[in-house]
Amino acid sequence: MNHSVRFRDVTIGMELDEFTQTISQEYIDRYAVASLDLNPIHIDPEWSSRAQTFGRPLTVLHGMATMSLMASVVTRTWGATAQIARMQSKFTKPVWVGQTLSFKGAVKELHYLSPGRSFAVLNVRATDSDGDMVGFCDFDVRLPG
């Protein structure tokens, strides 16, 4: 974790720390309670097996949990105080219970503005156990000098 990263030290292509997260039903349940998104598609295996909203009889992880974990790539690498100013995400495949997600990211753009306003754009991608991308997110992160 680097709490003191500065704009001048960041380069295009610089990679962020990778991590994985196994998505158990308990993990989904805890995120559901944390977010207050208690949709049965996440927390009700019996209902999900009947409704098959995403074409499989399984619960799915919240898209916002995937997005949160993608944001965590930034905060786990550059610290919880990293100033994320914007997050733009897209979700490309459902995350069914039992998957293990892998997260990796890199610096995509550098925007040279006035001191304290300069920012980097980081692209973070999430892939599932099959190697398929389940989502990606661009983060605008303001950095000191």
Partner 1 sequence: MKGIERIGYLFETQKQLGFDRDFLSGWELYDTWDELEVGRTYNAPHDYVVKEEDLVYYNRALGETDPLLIDPEYAAQHSPTGYVMAHPCFLVSVVFHCLGPKGHGTWLRTPAARNPFQDIELYEPIFVGERITLTFTAVDRFIRRGKHYITNLNEFRGSADVLKAKWLATLILPPTREEIRRFVTA
The residues of the shown chain that bind partner 1, judged by CB under 8 A, are 1, 21, 27, 29-47, 50-54, 62-65, 67-69, 71-72, 74-76, 79-81, 84-91
Nearer to partner 1, 39 or 129 (CB): 39
Q: How far is CA 136 from CA 39, 48, 106, 118, in A?
A: 23, 25, 12, 23
Nearer to partner 1, 11 or 70 (CB): 70
In the complex, the smallest distance separating the C-beta of residue 98 from partner 1, rounded to whole angstroms, is 16
In the complex, the smallest distance separating the C-beta of residue 62 from partner 1, rounded to whole angstroms, is 7
In the complex, the smallest distance separating the C-beta of residue 93 from partner 1, rounded to whole angstroms, is 11
Nearer to partner 1, 11 or 129 (CB): 129
Q: What is the distance in angstroms between the CA of the first residue and the CA of the last residue of the chain?
A: 19
Residue 72 in contact with residue 18, Cβ under 8 Å?
no
Nearer to partner 1, 47 or 116 (CB): 47
Q: How far is CA 125 from CA 47, 131, 137, 139, in A?
A: 30, 11, 7, 11
CA 41 to chain centre: 20
